[in-house]
Amino acid sequence: MNLANKVTLARIFLIPIFMFFILVRIPFGEYIAAAVFILAASTDGLDGYIARTRRQVTKFGKLMDPLADKLLISAALISLVEINLLSAWIAVVIIGREFAVTGLRSIAASEGVIISASKLGKFKTVTQIIAIVAIILNDFLIYTIGIPIDLGEIFIYIAVIFTIWSGIDYFVKGWKVLKLNKQI
């Protein structure tokens, strides 16, 4: 168990802590939840960086890193739906895309074909993280800082656009790769 894998596991262990603070209505709970979510999300790039720079890329890390990302984003979206801060259809679109792309990558991997993460997919993740934080902190942004618009709503629609766009991109590229390797 190297440091990169420990960082990945830390991200997973932060999920129930995030969920506690976002779902249990306590004073300043949403601020703590946002801080925990930001901490957990920031470990995403960190674990990969550590693994690459130390040449400690493992099968465990290759499996658990994207799984940890999907768990974190899914838990946040489902929690936001639960507390009526997000429409369920948005959560379904985002989580559904994750299942679909993971399925495609799994099929390709079973045939010895690797479909690597794209820059568009990474940008999609960043937009989702920003949107989730903006939704959680929406009241703070509007009433305390005085931002007159609902940034959470704007950012979540941007995230949905990038989620769909990157999903289509994965399927177009994946289809071509599988077709070239005569796997479909």
Instruction: Give 31-82 pLDDT, tens digit per residue.
Output: 999 999 999 999 988 988 898 899 988 888 878 888 899 999 999 999 999 9
pLDDT at residue number 178: 74
pLDDT at position 79: 98
Structure tokens at 70: 């999907």
The distance of Cα 33 from the centroid of its chain, to the nearest Å, equals 16
How many Cβ atoms are within 10 Å of 102's Cβ, its own excluded? 14
CB 11 within 8 A of CB 68: yes
- CA-closest candidate to residue 152, choices 174, 129, 181: 129
How much is the pLDDT for 97?
96
Q: What is the pLDDT of residue 184?
A: 56
**Domain boundaries of the chain, sorted by first residue:** 1-71, 85-184
- Select the more confidently predicted residue: 143 or 130: 130
- Global pTM? 0.90
What is the model's pLDDT at position 182? Answer: 65
- Tokens 């709503």 -> residue: 153
- The DSSP output letter for 1 is -
Label residue 135 by pLDDT band (50, 70, 90).
very high
